[in-house]
Structure 1
Amino acid sequence: MTSQYQRDSQTSVGYGNTPSCSLEKVHETNWQLFMWFASLEKVESYVCLFIVSWDVVNNAELSTKEFEEEITTMIQMIENLGANYTNYSMILNNYKNCRYNNDQANQTIRHSLVRNSWAELENCGLKVSSTVSDQLTRCSPSQRGYLRRMIISRIRSFQPFAHVLKENAMFKNQTSNLKKENSQDDQESLKRENEKLRAQITDLIKENSQQQVALGNLTNLSWNDDDPNNSKKLIRDITDLQDMLSDFTMVQGNDYKINNEAATALLEKWDCKVNNPGSRTNLVLGFLLQRVAIDTIMTAADKYFNGNFTNQDSDLEMDLINATANLIYCTESLRDKRKGDDDITKITPIKIRQNVYSALSCRGLPVDHTLIKDTAKKLLEEMNLYREVVDEETKDELDEQAIQITHKVIHIFYFRLKTQASEPTYQFFDAGQPVEPRLMQGAFGNDEIRKLEVEACGFPCIGIFSSDKLNSKIFMKAQVITRPKQ
């Protein structure tokens, strides 16, 4: 008995009169094509093969029911494979619509889909698509049906793998989500813990800062940069005082008239070798008056702090200074007579001195204090012994300058210098002393130093003087006028 497949094969016409496919005689080309069909690995390849296998069937031979069933089955199976293949189900739907509609637009789409399908098959290894197309055309309807059922079977075989892959993907997503959730929970927990630690650190810093303030920062003897007792600001204030004294003791110009007799006596007192009157004499006299001004103020201040000042209406600053001296003496005795190696005891006398005199420099002896006003008056009287101020406006200005200079001299020399960790002292230089550039400032060059000596010193050298130059520190050099050595 001859099978349906044998009958179809025998009635199919191949090249010439040779059957294109026969169970009794397998043509080499047919076998290679069969092997190629079986070697296809991608879903999209079978979709393309499905389209071209149906496209060789003309509309007259098209079985609508069979076409509808097969293409619907293909679409459903491809959609079951997952989202990655939805594009191919759309291609099949488009091809289905084109076969049912013969208008020009749909036929253009159909030809494009078929052309793209053949191109895809050629990319998969099909060498001559036109020959295969002719061969499919010569196949009987049942042979083409076998081919399409093989395609459907192959697509169906992908479904278990797709299901496994889908489950694996879902498992990975779930695992990833769990990890992400756990990671987010861990991150939130770490974030909260970090915020707690930051808050604790902030509280500790604040507490430590408060303790430092409460303890007065006992181990630190230096002043902050913005503190008025910082050494740089102290030097700047000393420079301002120099400028004020220079203006206050001026004797040159039409606003002033020099008392030659008193001026000559002053020059002789300080052993100045200049002839009065003269332009150089006026310069030297101005320097001497600066020293006279400082001496006058300091003499009055010494009397006040020793309790011998006339009109002493308030002993507050003097009492505080005396109490501080006693407290410093006691803490120094504790340091020297009691055993121990702590730093607090060593620096306590210094801190007491620094803080008390810092307070005095801020509030002690204001400009309206009796000492300041009476000393300023005495200062003006002393200046008027050596020069007379002719201009009334200048005279009024000097009254205010005398107050400011008196206040500044006392505050710098009696309070501000004592706020430093190592207390600076001051030193005037007398006429005839050798010039020392390290301690003096004036109109002289380094090559002239050996030939010069001091004529007059208007402002003292302020510094920490030590036989060891490395431990010395000069805050302000002395202002001097020099002369050739006698």
Structure 2
Amino acid sequence: MNQMADIQALERKNAELKKEASKYQSALGNAIDLQLSDDNENNSVNLKKDILSLQDSLEDYVTNCKGDIELDIPKIQALLKKYGSQTVVTKDQKPLIKAVLQRYVIEQILDYANSFIGNPGIHEEMLYGIETTLLFSTEQLLEVMTDLADRRVGDDDTIKLLNIKLRQQIFGALGNRGFNDMINVDKKIQRHEFITYFKDVLNNEIGKYRKIIDPFQKKEVEDMAADIIQKLVKLFLFRFQVHEPVANHHWCKYGSQIDDFMDGIWEEDEIDDLIVDVCYFPLIAQGFVNNKSKCQIYTPAKVITKHR
């Protein structure tokens, strides 16, 4: 009887151990699962939706460049030249003018963000410096994790996947909360310093190219800047990093042949005679540089074309 009781006790213990092992295996599986769930805001469907929303916001911010709006054509011409276009622009070429201004807005915002984030030592002790500090710390952590995987003997694959999972989790958090309104020491909510400062910088910069005369319209348009800056920075600097492989943006160069990675206005029978004049929103894709035929496209590049 004692022997039978011992066997039953061992069986119960074995069942408990299996259950415990299953729990840990499940947790491990979740830890290294690189796929984004259907309810994740960064999955491909939600990401595409938010990219398209940003495109609409940029178009509204630039305006239709008609009516009570003054255009500085020489400065707009200089912008076109900066992006390689050889087209001589006139005030009647509204689609081209809007396109080059949208391109400029995107590049200006990315410059603002990179200059801000690239100086963590300046901001790390400030309330508005959490993002820069976290990005700097994450970069260091990922480098050390890579060294651990490459320079220490072991046959577990988990550590290699963990590096990716860390990136996904941290950049997912930044994509959710990065540059959101801040809670100050008095527990009051205020707009993030980065957004507040560069909202005015962007409005002043774009105002050099298209001046809105009507004060009501001017305020309405310039109030969009804060939301656009936040959306764009979150997408390009944070949320693209959540994907594996990482999603990137790619600008189509002036003179490029029209292809399936582009979106614009043309007839099928004239594609062979068209080239890119200005790319005003970049291609967003995974693996585009390494293998174009197998890359995953989130949104195609938006381009204005011209005949050869």
Which TM-score bucket, shorter chain as reference? Answer: 0.7 to 0.9
Task: For residue 298 of structure 2, give the secondary structure of its aligned residue in structure 1.
Answer: strand
The equivalences for 1:462-477 within 5 A come to: 462-464=284-286, 465-477=288-300
Task: For residue 216 of structure 2, give the secondary structure of its aligned residue in structure 1.
Answer: helix
- Which residue number in structure 2 is paired with residue 231 of structure 1? 44
- Which residue number in structure 2 is paired with residue 409 of structure 1? 232
Q: In the alignment, which of 153, 158, 168 is matched to residue 354 of structure 1?
A: 168
- Which residue number in structure 2 is paired with residue 193 of structure 1? none
Q: In the alignment, which of 262, 266, 269 is matched to residue 79 of structure 2?
A: 266
Question: Which amino acid in 2 is paired with 1:481?
Answer: I
Q: In the alignment, which of 386, 403, 426 is matched to residue 249 of structure 2?
A: 426
Ranges in structure 2 where 5+ consecutive residues have no aligned partner: 1-14, 182-190
- Which residue number in structure 1 is paired with residue 282 of structure 2? 460
- Which residue number in structure 1 is paired with residue 273 of structure 2? 451
C-alpha displacement at 1:468, in angstroms? 2.9
The equivalences for 1:127-138 within 5 A come to: none
Could you say if the C-alpha distance between residues 417 and 338 of structure 1 is closer, same or farther in structure 2, counting changes exceeding 3 Å?
A: same
Q: TM-score, normalised by structure 1?
A: 0.53
The equivalences for 1:211-226 within 5 A come to: 212=26, 217-226=30-39
Deviations 1:104-139 (A, max 9, x none): xxxxxxxxxxxxxxxxxxxxxxxxxxxxxxxxxxxx
Task: For residue 227 of structure 2, give the secondary structure of its aligned residue in structure 1.
Answer: helix
C-alpha displacement at 1:430, in angstroms? 2.6
* 1:246 paired to 2:63: no
C-alpha displacement at 1:308, in angstroms? 7.5
- Which residue number in structure 2 is paired with residue 344 of structure 1? 158
Task: For residue 302 of structure 2, give the secondary structure of its aligned residue in structure 1.
Answer: strand
The equivalences for 1:94-173 within 5 A come to: none
Query: Identity rate of aligned residues, in percent?
Result: 30
* 1:306 paired to 2:123: no
Q: TM-score, normalised by structure 2?
A: 0.82
* 1:390 paired to 2:203: no
Task: For residue 252 of structure 1, give the secondary structure of its aligned residue in structure 2.
Answer: coil
Contact 1:431 1:455 in 2 (8 A): yes
Ranges in structure 1 where 5+ consecutive residues have no aligned partner: 1-199
C-alpha displacement at 1:309, in angstroms? 10
Rounded Cα–Cα distance in structure 1 between residues aligned with 2:252 and 2:146: 33
Aligned residue pair count: 278
Q: In the alignment, which of 363, 373, 378 is matched to residue 201 of structure 2?
A: 378
Contact 1:219 1:343 in 2 (8 A): no
Structure (1/2) with the larger helix percentage: 1
Rounded Cα–Cα distance in structure 2 between residues aligned with 1:422 and 1:255: 46
- Which residue number in structure 1 is paired with residue 9 of structure 2? none
- Which residue number in structure 1 is paired with residue 179 of structure 2? 365
Contact 1:361 1:415 in 2 (8 A): yes
Question: Which amino acid in 2 is paired with 1:427?
Answer: H
